[in-house]
C-alpha cells in the first residue's frame, strides 16, 4: 500500500511540474475584439492593452501548423487553439525570456491582421494593423 501511495505522489508531481503555465488571456481577447469591431480603427496597440511581462509577440495567421510556430519562435509550444485547422482566428503568442507566457485568439470579424515585415512585435513596437475588405 505504501508503495502505491509513493508511486501516485511521484506521478502527480511529474504531471504538475510538466504542465504548461501558458495562459489563454481572454481579457486581452475581449479588449482586442472591441477594437476590431470598431470599423473606424485601423490599428491595435498591443502594449497599451497588456498588463503582464512580455518581450516578443508572434502573430500567426489561420492554418499555421504547430511545427511552423515552434520553428519561428524557437521554442516548444502546444497550440490549444488548433489554428492549423481554423480560418476564423489569428493567434497572438507572447514570449518572455524565450518562454511562452500567454496567447490570444483574435477573432477575424471579416478582417485580417498584419505586423508588416516584422518577425514579431515587442513592447516598444507593438502595433498590429487591421485590414478590412
Q: Where are the domains of the chain?
A: 22-131
Query: Per residue in 26-51, pLDDT tens?
Result: 999 999 999 999 999 999 999 999 99
Closest C-alpha among 98, 78, 99, 79 to residue 89: 79
Say whether pTM exceeds 0.75: yes
Question: At residue 118, what are phi and psi to the nearest 5 degrees?
Answer: -75, 150
- The pLDDT > 70 percentage for the chain reads 85
C-alpha cell at 128: 498590429
Mean pLDDT in residue range 94-119: 95
Amino acid at each position: 500500500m505504501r508503495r502505491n501511495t509513493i508511486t501516485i505522489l511521484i506521478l502527480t508531481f511529474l504531471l504538475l511540474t510538466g504542465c504548461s503555465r501558458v495562459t489563454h488571456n481572454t481579457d486581452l481577447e475581449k479588449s482586442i475584439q472591441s477594437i476590431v469591431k470598431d470599423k473606424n480603427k485601423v490599428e491595435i496597440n498591443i502594449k497599451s492593452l497588456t498588463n503582464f511581462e512580455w518581450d516578443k509577440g508572434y502573430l500567426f495567421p489561420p492554418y499555421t501548423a504547430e511545427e511552423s510556430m515552434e520553428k519561428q519562435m524557437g521554442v516548444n509550444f502546444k497550440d490549444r487553439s488548433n489554428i492549423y485547422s481554423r480560418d476564423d482566428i489569428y493567434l497572438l503568442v507572447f514570449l518572455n525570456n524565450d518562454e511562452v507566457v500567454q496567447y490570444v485568439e483574435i477573432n477575424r470579424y471579416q478582417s485580417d491582421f498584419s505586423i508588416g515585415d516584422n518577425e514579431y512585435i515587442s513592447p516598444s513596437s507593438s502595433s498590429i494593423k487591421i485590414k478590412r475588405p
